[in-house]
């Protein structure tokens, strides 16, 4: 059985490939529904990310500095942010756990100070007010 850290890495890897291959969200989703490797937790999180993809990206962009856009962020960081935000809003995990896990992952797989802006973006985006305003679509699972 995979622990939560391993599950997060698999979900991040899945979205990383989405960005590297430059697929449209619908293409990636079609591939996703054929995968049998994900457990229910991962499926719910990934489906939430797909259903709310535009809203999640807008939320991230709202919290970037004026000289950055979502498309300029490295693929790993984009994937991590999407999964972290999706876990918070879909799985109702505590903010401090999401941020702590995200920082651990980014420090392990990235270089430089990207953990600092990941921390800042997540700290600004993970709140209940955003959930009520932005994420009211129902997941198909």
Would you say residue 15 has pLDDT above 80? yes
Give yes or no for a contact between 15 and 78, defined as CB atoms under 8 angstroms apart: yes
Q: Which residue has the tokens 């420090």?
A: 107
At CA 102, angle to CA 141 and CA 47, rounded to 5?
A: 15
Q: Does 129 fall in a domain?
A: yes
Share of the chain above pLDDT 70, in %: 87
pLDDT tens digits, one per residue of 31-84: 776 767 788 899 889 888 988 888 899 999 988 877 888 999 999 999 999 999
Q: How high is the pLDDT of residue 33? A: 66
Rounded mean pLDDT, 85-104: 92
pLDDT in tens, 3-13: 999 999 999 98
- Percentage of the chain exceeding pLDDT 90: 38
Residue predicted with more confidence, 89 or 30: 89
Q: In whole angstroms, what is the distance from residue 35 CA to residue 132 CA?
A: 31
Give the CATH number, domain containing residue 128.
Answer: 1.10.940.10
User: Which residues fall within 8 angstroms of residue 98, CB to CB, at 6 or more apart?
Assistant: 84, 87, 88, 122, 126
pLDDT tens digits along 117-133: 899 999 988 876 666 56
In a domain, 89, yes or no: yes
67 falls within a domain: yes
Judge whether 28 lies within some domain: yes
Chain-centroid distance of CA 76 in Å reads: 10
Residue 110 in contact with residue 74, Cβ under 8 Å? yes
Residue 32 domain boundaries: 4-134
Say if residue 29's pLDDT is above 80.
Answer: no
Domains: count for the chain: 1
């Amino acid at each position: 059985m995979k622990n939560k850290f391993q599950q997060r890495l698999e979900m991040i890897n899945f979205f990383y490939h989405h960005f590297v291959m430059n697929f449209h969200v619908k293409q990636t989703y079609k591939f996703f529904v054929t995968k049998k490797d994900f457990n229910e937790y991962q499926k719910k999180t990934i489906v939430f990310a797909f259903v709310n993809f535009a809203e999640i990206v807008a939320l991230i962009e709202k919290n970037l500095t004026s000289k950055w856009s979502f498309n300029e962020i490295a693929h790993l960081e984009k994937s991590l942010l999407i999964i972290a935000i999706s876990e918070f809003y879909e799985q109702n995990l505590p903010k401090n756990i999401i941020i702590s896990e995200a920082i651990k992952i980014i420090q392990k797989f990235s270089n430089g100070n990207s953990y600092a802006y990941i921390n800042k973006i997540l700290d600004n985006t993970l709140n209940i007010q955003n959930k009520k305003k932005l994420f009211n679509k129902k997941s198909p699972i």
